């Protein structure tokens, strides 16, 4: 099926063609027609499935060249600054040849509010915002949501997770009751289901099975290693496997800084990426990473969603993620848009029970490997050799001590969660 069968206008088709996308992805096929028809849509699609274009293309086509210029017609709420920037990039590609011109406003915290207030003077047609900064700007009378026709919640589960629920409900109160609602999310926890039901009128529900997303090709591995040897193992793998670009996830800002420093000492270009860095620094790190000036980025979960780095072949869970959903989001940074990728998890004696839990929820069929020279001293479970990674060996039953250890590790991960 080609894009031309979805009801898109010649202008939009041309803009898509300029992106060199030949065929629509599953979520684009399913979502574009009902969005164009004005339906509410609830779409469960993995990151990397092409969902940004799935809502941006029909929205740009449906923009009303109204008598009231620069009245906000669409509000796109996103959880992070990086996602805001990426959605804006997709929209910019679609509106570049529009007449009359379309004005976007991209609003997020962590940078001075004044340029955003200035930019909003004279209005905007589409606003992409994180909830906190949007409310700040509304409180300063910099914009009004009274004429919004469509609300998009992108990475909606993350919006709720990051504690935006209260802000979200304030924003919803400011929107016209009659409007189109579009919810996009990789995961749908019960709280989000509840919100979706409250928000949407007779929605079209879309579920794109993982196998049909644009990123089915992520090879997953897990390596058993003693916790203190993980940096050395990472260095070893970078050298021996010839990785050109690696995104490494850790549990805390402190670890991100520490491991980046250690790798630099080992002569590997590495930068930390976490919520306490200035926006300027975060943008710089990503730009350097994309331009291959930096080989390794050590990130907290702030990078787990919304970041789109073309050709990111490897993601490493140096510390395991807190939940199975976080695992999905982290590994979704690789293998995007049809490319293949590798997701590798370091499993320590303390975290193996937690890994088993994630593995069960993910239905992972991954055996724990041991890397020659990095065999563990205190291995609580049976391991296979690197050459036998697909053997499916089960661990022994955890002892009481194992369980206590795992519980402590999980709690440590919870307290260390960085946002």
Q: Which residues bind ligand AMP (CB under 6 A)?
A: 21, 24-25, 28, 47-53, 214, 308, 336-337
Q: How far is the CB of 308 from ligand AMP (least distance, A)?
A: 5
Question: Which contacts of 320-325 are long-range, i.e. CB under 8 A and separated by 24 or more positions?
Answer: 320/345, 320/346, 320/347, 320/351, 320/354, 320/355, 320/358, 320/413, 321/249, 321/358, 322/251, 322/413, 322/414, 322/417, 323/358, 324/357, 324/358, 324/361, 324/362, 325/157, 325/186, 325/187, 325/189
Shorter beta-carbon distance to ligand AMP: residue 218 or 260? 218
317: nearest Cα among 333, 340, 339: 333
Shorter beta-carbon distance to ligand AMP: residue 102 or 307? 307
Question: Which tokens hold the place of 249?
Answer: 């996830």
Q: How far is the CB of 334 from ligand AMP (least distance, A)?
A: 12
Shorter beta-carbon distance to ligand AMP: residue 87 or 250? 87
Q: How far is the CB of 345 from ligand AMP (least distance, A)?
A: 23
Is residue 194 classed as helix, strand or coil in its secondary structure?
helix
Shorter beta-carbon distance to ligand AMP: residue 271 or 308? 308
State residue 24 phi and psi, 5-degree precision. -70, 150
Q: How far is the CB of 70 from ligand AMP (least distance, A)?
A: 27
Shorter beta-carbon distance to ligand AMP: residue 311 or 378? 311
CA 357 from centre of chain: 22
Pairing mode of beta strands 126-129, 74-77? parallel
Using CA atoms, how far apart are residues 48 and 347, in angstroms rounded to an integer?
26
Question: Which tokens hold the place of 168?
Answer: 């979200």
Q: How far is the CB of 186 from ligand AMP (least distance, A)?
A: 9
Using CA atoms, how far apart are residues 234 and 253, in angstroms rounded to an integer?
18
Shorter beta-carbon distance to ligand AMP: residue 21 or 254? 21
Q: How far is the CB of 149 from ligand AMP (least distance, A)?
A: 22
């Amino acid at each position: 099926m080609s894009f031309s069968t979805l009801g898109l206008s010649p202008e939009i088709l041309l803009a898509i063609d300029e992106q060199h996308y030949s065929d629509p992805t599953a979520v684009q096929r399913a979502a574009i027609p009902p969005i164009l028809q004005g339906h509410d849509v609830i779409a469960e699609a993995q990151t990397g499935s092409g969902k940004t274009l799935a809502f941006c293309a029909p929205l740009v086509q449906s923009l009303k060249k109204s008598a009231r210029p620069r009245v906000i017609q669409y509000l796109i709420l996103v959880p992070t600054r990086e996602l805001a920037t990426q959605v804006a990039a997709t929209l910019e590609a679609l509106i570049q040849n529009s007449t009359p011109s379309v004005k976007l406003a991209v609003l997020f915290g962590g940078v001075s509010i004044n340029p955003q207030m200035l930019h909003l003077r004279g209005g905007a047609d589409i606003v992409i915002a994180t909830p906190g900064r949007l409310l700040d700007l509304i409180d300063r009378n910099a914009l009004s949501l009274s004429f919004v026709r469509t609300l998009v919640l992108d990475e909606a589960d993350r919006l709720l997770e990051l504690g935006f629920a209260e802000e979200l409900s304030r924003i919803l109160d400011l929107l016209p009751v009659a409007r189109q609602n579009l919810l996009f999310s990789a995961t749908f926890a019960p709280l989000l289901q509840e919100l979706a039901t409250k928000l949407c009128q007779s929605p079209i529900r879309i579920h794109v099975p993982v196998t049909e997303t644009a990123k089915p090709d992520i090879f997953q591995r897990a390596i058993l290693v003693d916790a203190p040897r993980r940096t050395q193992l990472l260095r070893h793998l970078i050298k021996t496997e010839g990785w050109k670009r690696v995104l490494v996830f850790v549990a805390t800002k402190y670890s991100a800084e520490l491991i980046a420093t250690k790798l630099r000492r080992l002569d590997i270009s590495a930068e930390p990426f976490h919520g306490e860095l200035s926006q300027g620094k975060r943008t710089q790190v990503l730009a350097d990473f994309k331009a291959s000036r930096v080989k390794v980025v050590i990130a907290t979960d702030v990078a787990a969603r919304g970041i789109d780095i073309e050709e990111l072949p490897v993601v490493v869970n140096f510390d395991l993620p807190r939940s199975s959903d976080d695992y999905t989001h982290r590994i979704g940074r690789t293998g995007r848009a049809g490319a293949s990728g590798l997701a590798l998890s370091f499993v320590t004696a303390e975290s193996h029970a937690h890994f088993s839990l994630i593995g069960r929820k993910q239905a992972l069929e991954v055996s724990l490997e041991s890397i020659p020279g990095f065999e563990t001293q205190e291995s609580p479970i049976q391991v296979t050799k690197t050459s036998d990674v697909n053997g499916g060996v089960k661990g022994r039953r955890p002892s009481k001590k194992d369980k206590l250890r795992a519980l402590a590790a999980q709690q440590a991960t919870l307290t260390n969660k960085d946002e």
